[in-house]
Amino acid sequence: MTVVRTLLILMKPVGLIYLLWEYKLAFLIKVREVIALTYRVITKRKGEILVAYTKNHPAYNLIAQNPPPGMVLVRLSSRLKPNFFLNFLATKIDICYEDAPTPVTLRTNQPIVKESECPYFNKAFLTDPQIKKIFVYSHWAKPDCPDPDAKMEVLHPAPILKKVKPKRESKRVTIFMSGAASARKGADILYQAFENVENKLASPYQLFLILASNYKSQEAFYPINSTCAERIQTLYKRSQTKKNVYWGRIYPPRFVDYIYDHSDIYVLPARFDTCPFSVFEAMASSLPIIVSGIQAFPELIHHGENGFLIDVNHYDDLQSQEYFEQAVKQLEEYLTTLITDTTLRLQMGEASRNRVEKKFNLAYRKNRLKEIFEEITTTNDLHTRN
């Protein structure tokens, strides 16, 4: 763990360069996307469907990197300003495949397929004739409202099923949390529970904790109260003195795959979340999962089968001190069980992998997208001819 922690720290300057290239330098991103779109238009073959998608996210990128036959995807996540040349390129796009709040700015009259990870999307989408389909990530994300044209359909995200390094019985146990290691994601709950377990099981176990990403991450849709903010800042500062804990960003992002392979338990005690891709990745890595019993998590994790759900049913305010203490207590209990019962830990990890293979299959997701895109373009061509 000391070697991994040192490597992660040394990679931070490289990560800054990657972050600037991938997210911060808007001009370079626009240039890159225009070049990619131009190339896709020039090399597009007869009969191929050119799909422009808007979200830089594994759920989309995995499809774009290895699309089904007859489909070509190009990412247009930046807000490109239309001009004569871009308008010409836009006419070659067959379908706009959009994250619910993020439209393709170059679109004209192309049919649109929307995708949403939560039920709070604009309900006007359901009656907009240009929007042909709305995929939602989970049953929780499918709102209970009129859907006259039956546009909504549950289509779960799906990870790549890579060959997994076999997990073995060991007294060395690594606990992993990825995404935004913030108060919304429950990083303070995990860190406090880890400290408690570490004090209780100091011997004969060697325990390690990796919290990937920044504790300062905050979103406008879920404001954090001052108590939570102060607590997580205090715990973060405390973690920086511990050699068996790494709390920070991981660069390059592909190094996260290595962390999954060398972890034993995945934990995400979020106060609010939707259907995070990190949980699918952890399941595909044969890890037992501990998450909060909120939003879509109960659809992914079956309590006692491939992990544990932290009970939130008796609490209206998940930022309260009372909830924090009870969540830490529950998480401490579940961590202790999985650390000390190696057989159960391995069984739950295997159950996670089996569940992904059967329920959240990338091949099924690709095939379903292809079916819908082909159906839409065929219908659109017929209307154009008529």
pLDDT, tens digit, for every residue of 123-164? 999 999 999 999 999 999 999 999 999 999 999 999 988 888
Q: Is residue 192 part of a domain?
A: yes
User: Are 212 and 148 in the same domain?
Assistant: no
Separation of alpha carbons 265 and 332, rounded Å: 13
| 274: nearest Cα among 140, 183, 182 | 140
Q: Is residue 2 part of a domain?
A: no
CATH of the domain at 333: 3.40.50.2000
Query: Residue 108 pLDDT > 80, yes or no?
Result: no
**Mean confidence (pLDDT) of the chain:** 88
* Residue whose token pair is 């979103």: 219
* Residue whose token pair is 């903010």: 229
User: Are 335 and 367 in the same domain?
Assistant: no
Q: Is residue 13 part of a domain?
A: no
User: Are 64 and 146 in the same domain?
Assistant: yes
User: Are 180 and 329 in the same domain?
Assistant: yes
User: Are 340 and 216 in the same domain?
Assistant: yes
Residue 280 near residue 158, CB atoms below 8 Å: yes
Separation of alpha carbons 287 and 252, rounded Å: 22
Mean pLDDT of 207-214: 89
Among the residues of the chain, which ranges form H helices? Answer: 2-10, 12-19, 26-43, 58-65, 84-90, 187-200, 226-239, 255-261, 277-284, 297-300, 321-340, 342-359, 362-385
When comparing pLDDT for 364 and 81, which is higher? 364
How far CA 60 is from CA of 77, 353, 382, in Å, comes to: 11, 21, 28
User: Are 178 and 89 in the same domain?
Assistant: no
Q: Is the pTM of this model over 0.75?
A: yes
Domain containing 231: what range? 172-359
Q: Is residue 8 part of a domain?
A: no
In total, how many domains does the chain have? Answer: 2
* pLDDT value of position 24: 56
Separation of alpha carbons 332 and 330, rounded Å: 5
User: Are 212 and 311 in the same domain?
Assistant: yes
User: Are 313 and 367 in the same domain?
Assistant: no
Q: Is residue 163 part of a domain?
A: no
User: Are 197 and 343 in the same domain?
Assistant: yes
CATH of the domain at 43: 3.40.50
User: Are 291 and 153 in the same domain?
Assistant: no
50-77: burial string, b at 16+ Cβ within 10 Å, e else:
bbbbbbebbbbebbeeebbeebbbbbbb
Q: What is the pLDDT of residues 338-377, one digit of tens each?
A: 999 999 999 999 999 999 999 998 999 999 999 999 999 9
Q: Is residue 176 part of a domain?
A: yes
The first and second tokens of residue 169, run together, are: 């019985």
Q: Is residue 9 part of a domain?
A: no
Query: Please, which residues have CB within 8 angstroms of residue 178's CB and are 6 or more apart in sequence?
Result: 212, 213, 250, 256, 259, 278, 281, 282
User: Are 76 and 207 in the same domain?
Assistant: no
User: Are 180 and 205 in the same domain?
Assistant: yes
Q: Is residue 5 part of a domain?
A: no
